[in-house]
Structure 1
Amino acid sequence: MKILVRWLLLAAALLLVAYLYPGVAITSFGSAMIAAFVIGVFNTLLRPILVLLTLPVTLLTLGLFLFVINALMFWAAAQVLDGFAVNGFVAALIGSLIYSLIGMVIDVAMERLFSRPSAA
């Protein structure tokens, strides 16, 4: 149940990103759901490999290169899907930053919503 709610909220977050920033476009909620799923898969499978391969650059930039990796994941999802478009790398960077911030808020809210009270 928690995964389904999180997925729906992240899809809504993508619609909010498209509303807030004109460089990102999503045609429907269905497209947003598919895009949220694909972004999640890319972040699960590809992101760790990219982080490992770019570790020297990431260390040299004190971690700022991770923003570039996030933008690449966001942009790659837009390239693979119909109904989800990003207008260039800068739009992917800004869109991924907004999406990440909303995602953090969702994660905190989900943790508080689904946390179990302690028995003690």
Structure 2
Amino acid sequence: MSFLIRVIVNALALAAAVWVVPGLKIVAAGEGTMSTVIAYLVVAVIFGLVNALVRPIVKLFSLPITCLTLGLFTIVINALMLLLTSWLTTFTPIELVIEQFWWDAIAGTIIISIVSAVLGLFVKSDSD
């Protein structure tokens, strides 16, 4: 159940980022509300898998520069994970489009982090 809740939180955070940042788009094959919801859920699953599998390795190798920048490089790492998600979705019928790295990916990452943190406060975890 925890995985499903995390996917829904990620999907809502992605929806907020797409709504706020004009250079982020999720393009689905079909049209309609249901296909849009499914598109956000699919991109959220891919984004969650990237964050679970790739991000810890990248964070480990970038630990010196992260310490040097007092943790601010983590924003760049998160933006790179969003770009990797965008690249991986090009192989699916649903695609996450990021127009510019510095504005769209960084701003999208910041919005996704804030929305995920706020929604995480309202969601009860399995350890509680």
**Deviations 1:67-92, CA, capped at 9 Å, x for gaps:** 10000001110111142111121211
TM-score (norm 2): 0.80
CA RMSD of aligned residues (A): 1.8
TM-score (ref. length: structure 1): 0.85
Question: Partners of 1:5 and 1:69 in 2: how far apart?
Answer: 24
Task: Report deviation, 1:110.
Answer: 0.1
Per the TM alignment, residue 12 of structure 1 is displaced from its structure 2 partner at its CA by 2.4
What residue ranges of structure 2 are gaps of 5+ in the alignment?
Answer: 28-35
Structure 2 distance, partners of 1:70, 1:37, is 16
Shift of 1:10: 2.1
Aligned-partner SS, 1:111? coil
Q: Which residue of 2 aligns with 1:92?
A: 105
**How far 1:3 moved relative to its partner?**
2.9
Alpha-carbon separation, structure 2, partners of 1:53 and 1:16: 30
State the one-letter code of the partner of 1:47: R
The answer to whether the Cα contact below 8 Å between 1:31 and 1:84 also exists between their aligned partners in 2 is no
**Where does structure 1 lack aligned partners over 5 or more consecutive residues?**
none
1:32-111 alignment to 2 at 5 Å? Answer: 32-81=40-89, 82-90=94-102, 91-111=104-124
After superposing the two structures, state which structure 1 stretch, 96-105 or 12-21, moved more.
Answer: 12-21
Runs of 4+ residues deviating >2 angstroms: none
Question: 2:5 matched to which residue of 1?
Answer: 5
Count of residues paired in the alignment = 115
Partner of 1:85, secondary structure, is: strand
Matched residues in 2 for 1:93 and 1:19: separation?
A: 15
Q: Taking every aligned residue pair, what percent have the same amino acid on both sides?
A: 34
CA distance in 2, matches of 1:79, 1:7: 19
Structure having the higher Rg: 1
